[in-house]
Chains A and B, each alone.
Chain A
């Protein structure tokens, strides 16, 4: 099989060296690593399709991987097999003059899409996930990543006009309007059922995304940043709700534990506005009223400090707290946030002493997505400490269970979430049936579902 793979991509693009397998054994999260059997680095969708045909014939697991900067273990090869590094698929295609939509191959990074569009006075609404300088379009869509700008533009899926996906049998499907070979990927709602949606968040279990088509918008230069301190979770949630209801913020986050010293209080809310100068002024005024009604105290310097280094700040925070980390996250209605957050805080209070002794830290925050709120609970410890490491895995499972029981819907699947996934009931059965139909030999990221 390996010689066949070498024939497809060239021998220089296949590796079975032990150190290479090791380098592909994990993502940015700290899910226990597993080694693939081989790495291939294709440069085109045709090569991806050919690799799939070979793997399907040999019934070998195939694990697609973008930047490997996910936190959920999506590209961890749970059953070994062939790891496909998709970062070699890196073309950006802007076909209409103004760039009302942009097509990016799976391996293109967010910052590059943003830069290319900026030159044409356009932007994609979202700015990519926490790892935007490395995260790829294909990988982010495959895990349904929550991105900077979700308060205004929603989940990543809402911005996708169509996908090109290589299936387990090696066929390539273009979804939405592009199912018509004479058309482009400009409209998702075509041709009956939304097959684009099947791949969004699928973690590579149903097919390998080779190209993504995204909506674009007029570029907005002006930005404004705000930060407020609150003395209760309810007030903070009400403030965030107000921003969502009146469609004000481009991005909005809540800090509950720890609340940065510069903000203080029980909870902090930071948000960012984007638009034209006059829009910013109007939205700024509205948002200040919402914050005042919810008894927020303005800490404006922190908003600017946080958002000007918006990607760096998060990586630094993770690095300082960990750097080993796992995260439980999912969506709920905004006003249910305080009740769930209090349960999570209660959970940690009971384990305060033990966690402290093991050097384990945790954080609780929130990210606004147009109509809902995402609750991320991150658990950190040094990856050198094995006992702490074992313990944060059990904390993770307990928290995932607690949050699911209180209505939080996770958006990641995979090794860590296996016990949650099976509780989906009929939804899980349907997912399995679709998977069996599209991938009868179960070669696509097996073990994820």
Chain B
């Protein structure tokens, strides 16, 4: 959607500022009005009223937003800040003003079909010995991060599902990036191409259910695909939803006790964007021996752990600070283990977690450990 189509949304804001204090992680660090929702919406208004023009400086500011949606969670008038932000970024892309790192990510996606720019032949290495089918009722949409960076999560997911009696299939090299990064960074046309491709391949696979471990892929498939390319012929599930169902059906056997006091970090895409707060907690509570304690900012109020690509390259100090703050919140609870259910969050949190000697788990790894299917 273009900015002019969101005029009504822009003028909905009454500038109460409830989106400011202890809401926006970027604003907490940088302090200026333009760094958080009220300023973002007012900037959009300035552009619509032609009081402001797009510029490189404005682009750098607008690409700071993590789209964590905490502002929207606290907005009494439900202003679609993320929609407005995406529309402005589309304009910035069209004007050639998007920061170079985003253009580079787009080039990577164009050539390798993943934002990391890793060669295609690397994508299926994690699955070479697993003998996964290409067609089936339940399709595992693996995602770029598990495929290239966190293969253990991908393998654990397959083992869990097989143990529960699900003969899971995948798209292998035919799976392209889900398009999350592209629609968030304003490259709407590229996102559309990726989505159309993936949809066609998923439909060809005959899948009735598509499961993913990545919260970004989940939001994209579940919410953005239907919005942008039409109704889906299959059900989209996050691994936490599917696991909860399987537990309820008695198909998951947690054999091993895991005596740990852990805390859980809600990924923004899974929580605020999709409303999945209870499912991961229910799973953790089923693991014998595990004690779950909450950080002060949890569920709807969770503090975003940062956005690796943009922050680490364009604003490295910020890229370092945001995950550190989140890990500190966990450390202050005295826990030694931090669980999340998104590989993007794992990627953000892993360095500060290591520094604080906190073990970081993507949820399927912990489930696999308790089920006794780790490393098989």
Instruction: Write out the residue numbers on chain B whose beta carbons fall within 8 Å of the beta carbon of A131.
Output: 16-18
0/1 interface trace, chain A 212-248, chain B, CB 8 Å (1 if under):
0000000000000000000000000000000000000
* B51 interfacial by beta-carbon distance below 8 Å: yes
Give which listed residue, B12, B20, B51, contacts A134 with CB less than 8 A: B20
* B31 interfacial by beta-carbon distance below 8 Å: yes
* B61 interfacial by beta-carbon distance below 8 Å: yes
0/1 interface trace, chain B 8-33, chain A, CB 8 Å (1 if under):
00011111111111100000001111
Instruction: Write out the residue numbers on chain B whose beta carbons fall within 8 Å of the beta carbon of A22.
Output: 42-43, 46, 51-52
Chain B residue at smallest Cβ distance from A108: B21
* A382 interfacial by beta-carbon distance below 8 Å: yes
Q: A19-B57, A20-B34, A87-B31 are in contact. Are A319 and B21 (CB under 8 A)?
A: no
Instruction: Write out the residue numbers on chain A whose beta carbons fall within 8 Å of the beta carbon of B7.
Output: 384
Chain B residue at smallest Cβ distance from A13: B31
* B133 interfacial by beta-carbon distance below 8 Å: no
B contacts with A, residue count (CB < 8 A) = 32
* A24 interfacial by beta-carbon distance below 8 Å: yes
Instruction: Write out the residue numbers on chain B whose beta carbons fall within 8 Å of the beta carbon of A376.
Output: none
Q: A41-B31, A131-B16, A315-B76 are in contact. Are A19 and B21 (CB under 8 A)?
A: no
A28 CA / B74 CA spacing, docked (Å): 17
Verify B31–A18 contact, CB threshold 8 A: no
0/1 interface trace, chain A 20-52, chain B, CB 8 Å (1 if under):
101110111000000000010100000000000
Q: A88-B31, A134-B21 are in contact. Are A23 and B39 (CB under 8 A)?
A: yes
Instruction: Write out the residue numbers on chain B whose beta carbons fall within 8 Å of the beta carbon of A319.
Output: 12, 14, 76-77
Chain A residue at smallest Cβ distance from B15: A28
Give which listed residue, B14, B43, B76, contacts A23 with CB less than 8 A: B43
**Shortest CB distance A251–B (Å):** 19
A316 CA / B76 CA spacing, docked (Å): 6
Chain B residue at smallest Cβ distance from A134: B17
A164 CA / B22 CA spacing, docked (Å): 25
Q: A17-B57, A19-B43, A41-B31 are in contact. Are A315 and B12 (CB under 8 A)?
A: no
Verify A24–B33 contact, CB threshold 8 A: yes
* A369 interfacial by beta-carbon distance below 8 Å: no
**Shortest CB distance A340–B (Å):** 27
> DSSP majority for the A interface?
mixed
Q: A17-B57, A23-B32, A41-B32 are in contact. Are A67 and B11 (CB under 8 A)?
A: no
Chain A residue at smallest Cβ distance from B18: A133
Verify B15–A26 contact, CB threshold 8 A: yes
Verify B15–A315 contact, CB threshold 8 A: no
Pick the most buried of A88, A109, A112: most chain B CB atoms within 10 A of its CB. Answer: A109
* A383 interfacial by beta-carbon distance below 8 Å: yes
A111 CA / B15 CA spacing, docked (Å): 18
Q: Which of A228-278 contact B (CB under 8 A)?
A: none
A134 CA / B22 CA spacing, docked (Å): 10
Chain B residue at smallest Cβ distance from A316: B76
* B283 interfacial by beta-carbon distance below 8 Å: no
Instruction: Write out the residue numbers on chain B whose beta carbons fall within 8 Å of the beta carbon of A325.
Output: 14
Verify B11–A323 contact, CB threshold 8 A: yes
* B116 interfacial by beta-carbon distance below 8 Å: no
A26 CA / B46 CA spacing, docked (Å): 12
Verify A315–B33 contact, CB threshold 8 A: no
Q: A17-B57, A19-B57, A134-B20 are in contact. Are A322 and B31 (CB under 8 A)?
A: no
* A64 interfacial by beta-carbon distance below 8 Å: no
Q: Which of A1-20 contact B (CB under 8 A)?
A: 12-13, 15, 17-20
Chain A residue at smallest Cβ distance from B14: A323
Q: A22-B51, A109-B21, A131-B16 are in contact. Are A68 and B33 (CB under 8 A)?
A: yes
A130 CA / B16 CA spacing, docked (Å): 9
A24 CA / B34 CA spacing, docked (Å): 9
**Shortest CB distance B51–A (Å):** 6
Instruction: Write out the residue numbers on chain A whose beta carbons fall within 8 Å of the beta carbon of B43.
Output: 19, 22-23
Instruction: Write out the residue numbers on chain B whose beta carbons fall within 8 Å of the beta carbon of A130.
Output: 16
* A302 interfacial by beta-carbon distance below 8 Å: no
Pick the most buried of A23, A135, A316: most chain B CB atoms within 10 A of its CB. Answer: A23
* A417 interfacial by beta-carbon distance below 8 Å: no
Verify B15–A85 contact, CB threshold 8 A: no
A9 CA / B251 CA spacing, docked (Å): 60
0/1 interface trace, chain B 51-90, chain A, CB 8 Å (1 if under):
1100101100100000000000010110000000000000
Verify B16–A69 contact, CB threshold 8 A: yes
Verify A383–B11 contact, CB threshold 8 A: yes
Instruction: Write out the residue numbers on chain A whose beta carbons fall within 8 Å of the beta carbon of B16.
Output: 28, 69, 130-131, 133-134, 315
A135 CA / B20 CA spacing, docked (Å): 10
**Shortest CB distance B9–A (Å):** 11
Give which listed residue, A19, A28, A39, A112, contacts B14 with CB less than 8 A: A28
Chain A residue at smallest Cβ distance from B51: A22
A65 CA / B293 CA spacing, docked (Å): 39
* A191 interfacial by beta-carbon distance below 8 Å: no
* A307 interfacial by beta-carbon distance below 8 Å: no
**Shortest CB distance A171–B (Å):** 26
Instruction: Write out the residue numbers on chain A whose beta carbons fall within 8 Å of the beta carbon of B42.
Output: 22-23, 26
* A318 interfacial by beta-carbon distance below 8 Å: yes
* A429 interfacial by beta-carbon distance below 8 Å: no
Instruction: Write out the residue numbers on chain A whose beta carbons fall within 8 Å of the beta carbon of B21.
Output: 67, 87, 109, 111-112, 133-134
Q: Which of A92-123 contact B (CB under 8 A)?
A: 109, 111-112
**Shortest CB distance A87–B (Å):** 7
Verify A315–B14 contact, CB threshold 8 A: yes
**Shortest CB distance B161–A (Å):** 43
Q: A19-B57, A19-B58, A23-B42 are in contact. Are A315 and B18 (CB under 8 A)?
A: yes
A384 CA / B11 CA spacing, docked (Å): 8
A312 CA / B20 CA spacing, docked (Å): 15
Verify B17–A68 contact, CB threshold 8 A: yes
Instruction: Write out the residue numbers on chain A whose beta carbons fall within 8 Å of the beta carbon of B15.
Output: 26-28, 68-69
The 7 closest A-B pairs by CB, nearest first: A134-B17, A23-B33, A319-B77, A23-B39, A315-B76, A28-B15, A323-B14
- In the complex, 16 of the A-B residue pairs with CB atoms within 8 angstroms, ordered by the A residue number, are A19-B43, A19-B57, A23-B34, A28-B14, A28-B17, A39-B32, A67-B17, A112-B21, A130-B16, A133-B16, A133-B17, A134-B20, A134-B21, A312-B76, A323-B11, A325-B14
Extra pairs beyond A19-B52, A323-B77 (13, CB < 8 Å): A13-B31, A18-B55, A20-B34, A26-B15, A39-B32, A85-B32, A133-B17, A133-B18, A133-B74, A134-B18, A134-B21, A323-B11, A324-B11
